[in-house]
Amino acid sequence: MTVELISVGTEILLGNIVNTNAAYLSEKCAELGLSLYYETSVGDNEGRLKSILTTALSRSDIIILTGGLGPTADDLTKEVTAKTLGLELVLDTHTKERIGEYFNKIVSHGIPDSNWKQAEVIEGAIIIDNTNGTAPGLIVETQYGKRVILLPGPPNEMIPMFEQDIFPYLNRLRPHVFYSAMVKICGIGESKVEEGIKDLMDRQENPTIAPYAKTGEVHLRVTASADTLEEGMNLVKPVVEELKERFKDNIYTTDEKETLEENVVKLLKQNNLTLATAESCTGGLLTGKIVNVAGASSVLNSGFITYSNESKRQFLDVSEGTLKEYGAVSEKTAGEMAMGAARATNSNVGIAITGLAGPDGGTIDKPVGLVYIGCFLNDKITVKEYHFRGNRQKIREYSVVNALDLLRRSIINNSNF
């Protein structure tokens, strides 16, 4: 089956928001084994939206529209879809009651009249309740075998609705079972990973391997088509085992939902280790990643943002001699920062980042993108030197990923706990 994505909203075309919905849905469609050939963004314009939807209906089996289901006059997705399909809008009392309940919980001065527009649905549509907002999702099964799915634009409404209701619905439509597994790799680049699986991809038929490049990571999805789930699992398993053999410790998880920071927190917990962080150029991004993990409080003792030389001396006990002789961005300083953070907080582990994120401040000897990451564990200091490319934000993001990876490897390779 072929699927087509249409993202509705002038704010997308103007660049006011990043269209993360399309990226999320594209990945989910691939996971479902659906063929995605077209993806379009269109503004809040009736004529252009109708033209794009008409074209999509002529070439795709499933059309998923996101956005344009709000209460304002420029929210036209539902109305244009109904007109294009030759259907009417009708009031759904169930949705109207849900909208009333939603507003009664958050406001005390009545419900805006415009919001009742969201209680109108396309006749005959399957209504998907929105547990995080007021606009319901809709599934319209046309007489021609086409399916049109309307989802709200805000990701915090769209993603839960898709995972809870739309994914299972689409899964039931597939003629075969698709089973997939994810292998997540960090510490080596995309080109190195592709080089390592080129022979597998050249001869692949079923299952297939699809690489996805992330910031500092590469994810490999292994997918098999089969008549039964068990058959699919048996097809995928040897490929995953082969990938494990090839990439070894560069693989941090085969759990699709587990992030690198979650993996690190899990390792700290498993080994009864506590952590302190020390950051300069990343300014708290690393600590923030760790704090995002539920239960991080059991392993994270403290986080230091030591941007100036004075703060490095005062809070982390980095020696004045080190800073004068080697500078703030140096292997020696990164090591002392990591050790100082651990000792200052009585932690087992210290991880530190110091570097030049730019765009200014670089020299021939120390160019922008030079970053040192230090890890202190069991009285042993390990420091890695990195040369990242990109803008200031990208360099900082790469620094965080590689700091997590160094921390992960240090725990795995440590033999004294």
How much is the pTM? 0.80
Could you tell me which of 203, 246, 240, 208 has the C-alpha nearest to residue 224? Answer: 208
pLDDT at 162: 98
Is residue 318 helix, strand or coil? Answer: coil
Instruction: State the alpha helices, DSSP H only, in 32-144.
Output: 46-59, 77-85, 93-106
pLDDT tier, 416 (very low <50, low <70, confident <90, very high otherwise) = very low
Tell the CATH topology of 260-413. Answer: Maf protein (3.90.950)
Return the H-helix or E-strand segment holding 265.
Answer: helix 260-270
Please tell me the distance from the alpha carbon of residue 23 to that of residue 115, in angstroms, as a whole number.
29
Give the tokens for residue 355: 């570097």
CATH architecture of the domain with residue range 177-253: 2-Layer Sandwich (3.30)
Please tell me the distance from the alpha carbon of residue 210 to that of residue 212, in angstroms, as a whole number.
7
Q: Is the predicted pLDDT of residue 109 greater than 70, yes or no?
A: no
The answer to whether 225 and 206 are in contact (CB under 8 A) is: yes
Is residue 343 helix, strand or coil? Answer: helix
Q: Is the predicted pLDDT of residue 417 greater than 80, yes or no?
A: no
Average pLDDT over residues 184-192: 95
Interstrand relation of 2-8 and 35-42 (parallel, antiparallel or unpaired): parallel
Average pLDDT over residues 35-57: 97
What CATH code would you report for 2-173?
Answer: 3.40.980.10
Could you tell me which of 368, 378, 359, 371 has the C-alpha nearest to residue 405? Answer: 371
pLDDT at 112: 78
Q: Is the predicted pLDDT of residue 150 greater than 90, yes or no?
A: yes
Average pLDDT over residues 198-202: 96
Q: In the chain, what are the domain boundaries? A: 2-173, 177-253, 260-413
pLDDT at 143: 86
Q: Which residues of 290-319 are buried (b: 16+ CB within 10 A; e: fewer)?
A: bbebeebeebbbbbbbbeebeebbebbebe
Could you tell me which of 35, 143, 151, 127 has the C-alpha nearest to residue 85? Answer: 143
Average pLDDT over residues 90-107: 88
Q: Could you report the per-residue pLDDT of 263-287, keeping only the tens digit for each?
A: 999 999 999 999 999 999 999 999 9
Return the H-helix or E-strand segment holding 356.
Answer: none
Q: Could you report the per-residue pLDDT of 126-147, keeping only the tens digit for each?
A: 999 999 999 999 999 998 899 9
Q: Could you report the per-residue pLDDT of 330-371, keeping only the tens digit for each?
A: 999 999 999 999 999 999 999 999 999 999 999 999 999 999
Up-side HSE of residue 405: CA atoms within 13 Å toward CB?
22
Q: Measuring CA to CA, how many Å separate 207 from each of 120, 195, 233, 398?
A: 44, 19, 10, 31
